[in-house]
């Protein structure tokens, strides 16, 4: 007979995902498996219910952004954005300059010459540069000016597709200002330079020297959006600087010609020593097996058999008495308590197990990976350049905090560098002194043997075999 325990309404609560009744003592929904750890202790012990809206919900996963889907800003839209910024700048300058001019003009005596100098001139000059300076700061930290925002354009770092920063925007402005050395023609050439960009990204000279790129977010994805996904570089790049392979059909290095053999007179072979005589043995005849005359292998007549006297049978020994005690044996020394049928991994690695210079990544869970050349590391990594020779290191274990393609690395002659691939939870390097340095996405950082690298919540140690 089976006793059925009925769960009353006061002993259960609805699942936050599927609505099924879940016992208060349960840690998971019995229907869909959703954790119930979001309930408070008061609710678990009979307190008020937790509203469903405040309960745990899964974190939405943002779709990655492919680099091939980024759309360069059209040159016409860039010109319109530039004119809009110029109109805003002229309007702001007029608002500040007109009152100053009116005050100066009112203070001039009738019949005297109007001259604009001193403080009024300095204020008007400051007003004319106020809007451009404000736009430089705004683009550095948001990626757009008022004109670019209206036209749906953004300015980003070309290698990481993030906000350009104040240093790059100041350099960009200095380049444009320096072009005024050639009055009239210099700025015109700089602003027309995106038209003959061979990379088809419409980047001008000021963009190339400052490492920036103006993109169109109305026709393509916006990598500066709040919930932008991970950037995946799927554009084929120029083959990295590696040792070029030998061309097919190339002539091999000619080997030195072998010396011609010199004919010599034949040398008589020494006489072979006589073979030692083969000893013969008399084999006792077995009366139960018939004998047949076999020819000798050497062709010599067989030696006559020697008769052997029969051996008298031995009488069986008398039965022994009853066994009083079983002899004891010393037990084997203990093996350490392990199961003898199981396989035990050795914790010690021979010093010469790995060749000198071999680079190994040892994770905090015990897994180790040997890396060489260029590759990426992550939950399910994909080669960012589509190169078949890239090494793909798929991290095992709990990888919920690791992005699909989290880290990029390359082992070169005498150096090892890594960079973050715009991962969700970021990466950092922990040096031997314990100082943690975050890895900026797109920026290469050199590693040394013994450094620890944090990717999400996982940590691995880089070692180089001596």
pLDDT digits (tens, 9 = 90+) for 152-203: 999 999 988 999 999 999 999 999 889 888 887 888 899 999 999 988 899 9
φ, ψ of residue 390 in degrees (nearest 5): -70, 140
Q: Are residues 188 and 102 in the same domain?
A: yes
Of 201, 231, 261, which residue sits at a domain end?
Answer: 231
- Let me know if residue 331 belongs to a domain: no
Distance CA(292)–CA(302), nearest Å, equals 12
Residue with tokens 């210099």: 186
- Let me know if residue 382 belongs to a domain: yes
Q: Are residues 79 and 31 in the same domain?
A: no
Residues 332, 337, 338, 341: what is their CA dihedral angle, to the nearest 10 degrees? 40
Cβ-contact 230, 403 below 8 angstroms: yes
Q: Quote the tokens at residue 56.
A: 């745990």
CATH number, domain at 429? Answer: 2.60.200.20
Strand order through the sheet with 415-420: 391-394, 374-378, 407-412, 415-420, 445-446
Number of residues in the chain: 466
- Let me know if residue 91 belongs to a domain: yes
Q: Quote the tokens at residue 14.
A: 């609805």
The pLDDT of residue 13 is 76
The two beta strands, 231-232 and 368-371, are unpaired
φ, ψ of residue 172 in degrees (nearest 5): -60, -45
Q: Are residues 124 and 224 in the same domain?
A: yes
Kindly report which listed range (208-222, 299-313, 365-379) carries the lowest average pLDDT score. Answer: 299-313
**What is the domain extent for residue 29?**
14-45
Residue 320 has pLDDT above 80, yes or no: no
Q: Are residues 38 and 136 in the same domain?
A: no
Q: Look at the chain and report how many structural domains it folds into.
A: 3
Of 231, 247, 267, which residue sits at a domain end?
Answer: 231
Q: Are residues 411 and 451 in the same domain?
A: yes
When pLDDT is averaged across residues 215-230 and rounded to a whole number, the result is 88
List Cα–Cα distances, 355 to 120, 352, 368, 393, in angstroms.
Answer: 76, 7, 16, 20
Q: Could you tell me which of 387, 385, 371, 342 has the C-alpha nearest to residue 453?
A: 371
Distance CA(89)–CA(274), nearest Å, equals 117
Of 214, 231, 248, which residue sits at a domain end?
Answer: 231
End-to-end CA gap in the chain: 71
pLDDT band at 56; cut points 50, 70, 90: very low
When pLDDT is averaged across residues 323-330 and rounded to a whole number, the result is 51
φ, ψ of residue 415 in degrees (nearest 5): -155, 155
- Cα 98 → chain centroid: 58
The two beta strands, 65-66 and 231-232, are parallel
Q: Are residues 363 and 456 in the same domain?
A: yes
């Amino acid at each position: 007979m089976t006793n059925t325990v009925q769960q009353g309404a006061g002993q259960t609560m609805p699942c936050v995902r599927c609505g099924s009744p879940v016992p208060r003592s349960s840690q998971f929904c019995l229907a869909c498996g959703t954790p119930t750890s979001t309930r408070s202790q008061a609710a678990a012990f009979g307190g008020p219910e937790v509203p469903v809206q405040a309960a745990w919900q899964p974190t939405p996963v943002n779709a990655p952004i492919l680099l091939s889907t980024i759309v360069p800003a059209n040159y016409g839209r860039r010109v319109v954005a530039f004119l809009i910024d110029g109109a805003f700048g002229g309007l702001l300058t007029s608002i500040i300059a007109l009152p100053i001019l009116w005050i100066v003009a009112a203070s001039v005596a009738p019949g005297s010459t109007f001259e604009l100098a001193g403080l009024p001139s300095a204020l008007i000059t400051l007003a004319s540069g106020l809007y451009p300076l404000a736009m430089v700061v705004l683009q550095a930290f948001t990626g757009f000016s008022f004109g670019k925002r209206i036209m749906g354009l953004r300015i980003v770092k070309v290698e990481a597709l993030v906000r350009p920063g104040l240093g790059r925007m100041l350099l960009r402005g200095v380049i444009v200002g320096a072009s005024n050395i050639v009055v009239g023609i210099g700025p015109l050439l700089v602003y027309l330079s995106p038209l003959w960009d061979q990379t088809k990204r419409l980047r001008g000279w000021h963009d190339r020297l400052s490492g920036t790129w103006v993109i169109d977010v109305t026709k393509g994805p916006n990598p500066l959006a709040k919930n932008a996904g991970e950037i995946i570089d799927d554009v084929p790049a120029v083959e990295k600087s590696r040792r070029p392979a030998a061309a097919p059909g190339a002539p091999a290095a000619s080997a030195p010609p072998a010396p011609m053999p010199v004919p010599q007179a034949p040398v008589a072979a020494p006489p072979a020593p006589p073979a030692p005589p083969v000893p013969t043995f008399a084999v006792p005849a077995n009366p139960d097996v018939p004998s047949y005359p076999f020819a000798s292998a050497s062709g010599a007549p067989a030696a006559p058999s020697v008769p052997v006297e029969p051996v008298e049978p031995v009488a069986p020994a008398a039965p022994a008495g009853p066994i009083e005690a079983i002899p004891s044996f010393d037990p084997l020394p203990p093996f350490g308590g392990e199961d003898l049928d199981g396989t035990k991994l050795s914790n010690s690695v021979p010093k010469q197990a790995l060749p000198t210079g071999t680079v190994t990544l040892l994770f905090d869970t015990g897994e180790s990976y040997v890396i060489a050349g260029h590759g990426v590391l992550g939950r399910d990594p994909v080669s960012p350049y589509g190169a078949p020779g890239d090494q793909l290191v798929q991290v095992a274990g709990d990888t919920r905090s690791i992005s699909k393609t989290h880290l990029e690395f390359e082992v070169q002659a005498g150096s090892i560098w890594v960079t973050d691939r715009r991962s969700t939870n970021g990466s950092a390097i922990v040096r031997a002194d314990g100082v943690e340095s975050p890895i900026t996405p797109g920026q290469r950082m050199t590693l040394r043997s013994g450094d620890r690298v944090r990717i999400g919540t996982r940590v691995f140690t880089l070692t180089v075999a001596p």
